[in-house]
Structure 1
Amino acid sequence: MSIQDIIEGKKQWRAHVARVKALPPDYRIVYKEMQKYLFKVGPNDLPDGPLLPGILDFFEEGVAEGKGVLELIGTDVAAFCDDLVKDSPARADVHRASIGAESGADER
C-alpha cells in the first residue's frame, strides 16, 4: 500500500464521517451503535468494504423519505446487523480458524 493509497483512504473516511455527522440525531446514534457492533463482529473488510457506505446511503434515503430510523431497521439493531453480515466471514470466524490451525500444527 502506497502513501497515496493511505492518503486517499483517509480522505474517503473523512468524507464518510462528514456524511454521518449530517444525519439527524436519531439516525446518527443508531449508525454509531451499528458501527461499533459491526467492528466487533462484522466482516473483515469492514473499514474498506461497501457495508458502512451502503448503510449510510440507506439511512440518507430514509431521511429523504421522512421515515424514522426504527421504521427502516426495526427495534433490534443487532439482529439487523447480523442479517446484513450473515454470509460474510467475520473476524471471530477468522480467529477461530487460526486457532484451529495452530492447534492442528501442535498435534503433529
Structure 2
Amino acid sequence: MGIQDIIEGKKQWRAHMARVKALPRDYQIVYKEIQRYFFKVGPVELLDGSLLSGILDFFEEGVATGKGVLELIGNDVAAFCDELIKDSRTFADIYQESMGNSPGSQRGPDA
C-alpha cells in the first residue's frame, strides 16, 4: 500500500463520515453504535468498506422515506448487527484457526 492509497483511503473515509454527519441525530447515534460493534467483533468485510457503506445507504433511504431508525433495524442494535454478519468470518475466527482451534470445537486451552 503506497502513500497515494493511504491518502485516497482517508479521503473516502472523510466523505463517508460527512454522510454520517448529515443523518438525523438518532440515525447518527445508532450508526456509531453499529460501527463500534463491528470494530469490536471484527467481521472481515470491514476491510473493503462495503459493509458500513451499505448500512449508510440503507439509513439514507430510511431518512428519505421518513422512517425512524428503530423502525428500520428494530430495538436491538447487536441483534441487527449479528444478523448482518451471521455468515461472515471474523478476525476472531481467523485467529482461532491459526491457533489450531476451529470456532465450534470443544478443545480448550488444556486439550
TM-score above 0.5: yes
Instruction: Mark the runs of 5 or more structure 2 residues left unpaired by the alignment.
Output: 102-111
User: In 1, distance between residues paired with 2:2 and 2:45?
Assistant: 18
Amino acid aligned to 2:100: G
Which amino acid letter does the alignment assign opposite residue 29 of structure 2?
I
CA contact (8 A) 2:45 2:88 kept: no
Give the structure 1 partner of residue 10 of structure 2. 10
Distance 1:94 1:49 in 2: 19
* Bigger fraction of residues in helix: 1
Q: Does 1:42 align with 2:45?
A: no
| Letter paired with 1:91 | F
User: In structure 1, what residue type is equivalent to 2:82?
Assistant: D
Q: For residue 94 of structure 1, report the CA deviation from its aligned partner.
A: 1.0
Question: Hey, what does 2:75 align to over in structure 1?
Answer: 75
What's the secondary structure of 2:99's corresponding residue? helix
Partner of 1:89: 89
Q: TM-score, normalised by structure 1?
A: 0.88
Once residues 49 and 18 of structure 2 are traced to their aligned partners in structure 1, the CA distance between those partners, rounded to angstroms, is 18
**Identity across matched positions, percent:** 75
Q: TM-score, normalization: structure 2?
A: 0.86
Matched, 1:28 2:28: yes
How many residue pairs get matched?
Answer: 101
Unaligned runs of 5+ in 1: 102-108
Whether the 8 Å contact between 1:43 and 1:89 is mirrored in structure 2 is yes
In the TM superposition, structure 1's runs of 4+ consecutive aligned residues that sit over 6 Å from their partners are none
1 CA distance for matches of 2:22 and 2:2? 31
CA RMSD, aligned part only?
1.2
- Output the amino acid matched with 1:9: G
Contact 1:62 1:68 in 2 (8 A): yes
Deviates more, 1:15-24 or 1:91-100: 91-100
